[in-house]
Structure 1
Amino acid sequence: MAVQTITLGGGCFWCVEAVYELVDGVLGVESGYSNGQLRQPSYELVCEGRTGHAEVVRVRFDDERISLREILEIFFTVHDPTTRDRQGNDVGPQYRSAIYWHTPEQEAVVREVHAEADRALGGRVVTELAPEDNYWPAEAYHQHYFAQHPQQGYCAYVIAPKVEKFRKTFRERVRG
């Protein structure tokens, strides 16, 4: 087994986390904050939009079972990479579309898949690309949020449709 980690920001981390927790080959998902200036930010400070952090998920995966390319193809399908600092009604720099790599090898794949998505979407992709920096895990109550609160309003009306889109589009990648 060859384990890799990639950090993804696709709006609210609850949405991205809920999808990747279902992906076959993903070993773990952790919600957190990345690429901001403040050390050890809190949810409240990040929500104010002044720390520079994005809400992200760190995705640990077995690259012998699922490739980084596949991880990124799922990412570009389950969120809107064409809106700056926004996903639906979630607005602010913390909700930006972002991919933060961990190795130079990942950077090459990230840039390639990003360019393909940008061509497919008419040159409108605004996803930030950078090495992961200043990551901090989100508070415990944010971890596995959708799995613990599927009937909560935001979960039912915002996250559930994204999960369903993943299930339909990537049937062969859903954990068995």
Structure 2
Amino acid sequence: MATEVATLAGGCFWCLEAVYDDLKGVTDVVSGYSGGHVNAPDYQQVCTGTTGHAEVVQVTFDPDVISFKDLLDVFFTIHDPTTLNRQGNDVGPQYRSAIFTHSPEQKAVAEQTIAELNQSALWNAPIVTQVVPFETFYPAEDYHQEYFKNNPNQGYCMVVVAPKVAKFRKQHYERLKA
């Protein structure tokens, strides 16, 4: 099985990881940091908003089961791509919306998807999602991995993550792992 990698930023990585873990064709999801200028940053550094990194998930997927376009279709339903450096109450450049492309094909698909979504006027504002070449990924600390699965009763998970996961499952039921 040949796999591909997608690196996506759409606010808190706990939300994205919980959703992508449920998708058919996704073989691995790792929370981490990308897009910054500090080598091997930790969570505390990224939270300051000064490292340039975004909270991201790196999604390994089987393109014979799910396409990069399908991953983006999910991506654009689980966060607000029209708010600059913010998702809900999470504010700062670390919470920006971004697609870190791994190939010219991913770049083309991302740009085409954004153009189609802007044209559809699905949102009341233009999409501000960055489409930038992937450079480096730093995995987040172990306690961030599978955070929602391991901490479903934590306050943020109950109030923010769980509703996003429920909405995703309802909208993309046919794409869920068995």
Select 1:174's aligned residue among 168, 173, 176. 176
Look up the match of 1:153: 155
Matches within 5 A, 1:117-132: 117-120=117-120, 121=123, 124-132=126-134
SS at match of 1:74: helix
Look up the match of 1:25: 25
Name the aligned partner's letter for residue 55 of structure 1: E
Look up the match of 1:81: 81
Contact 1:54 1:94 in 2 (8 A): yes
Question: Aligned partners of 1:122, 1:160: CA distance in 2, in Å?
Answer: 25
Q: Alpha-carbon deviation of 1:123? A: 5.4
Q: Over aligned residue pairs, what C-alpha RMSD do you find?
A: 1.0
Scaled by the length of structure 1, what TM-score is found? Answer: 0.97
Q: Alpha-carbon deviation of 1:156? A: 0.6
SS at match of 1:111: helix
Look up the match of 1:90: 90
Q: Alpha-carbon deviation of 1:2? A: 2.6
Segment drifting more, 60-69 vs 133-142: 133-142
SS at match of 1:98: strand
Look up the match of 2:165: 163
Question: Aligned partners of 1:153, 1:63: CA distance in 2, in Å?
Answer: 35
Question: Aligned partners of 2:33, 2:142: CA distance in 1, in Å?
Answer: 13
Question: Aligned partners of 1:136, 1:4: CA distance in 2, in Å?
Answer: 18
SS at match of 2:44: helix
Structure 1: runs of 5 or more not aligned:
none
Contact 1:36 1:133 in 2 (8 A): no
Question: Aligned partners of 1:52, 1:146: CA distance in 2, in Å?
Answer: 25
Question: Aligned partners of 1:122, 1:107: CA distance in 2, in Å?
Answer: 24
SS at match of 1:77: coil
Contact 1:46 1:52 in 2 (8 A): yes
Give structure 1 regions of 4+ aligned residues with deviation exceeding 6 angstroms: none
Q: Alpha-carbon deviation of 1:119? A: 2.0
Percent of residue pairs bearing the same amino acid type: 55
Structure 2: runs of 5 or more not aligned:
none
Q: Alpha-carbon deviation of 1:108? A: 1.1
Q: Alpha-carbon deviation of 1:25? A: 0.6
Q: Alpha-carbon deviation of 1:174? A: 0.8
SS at match of 2:76: helix
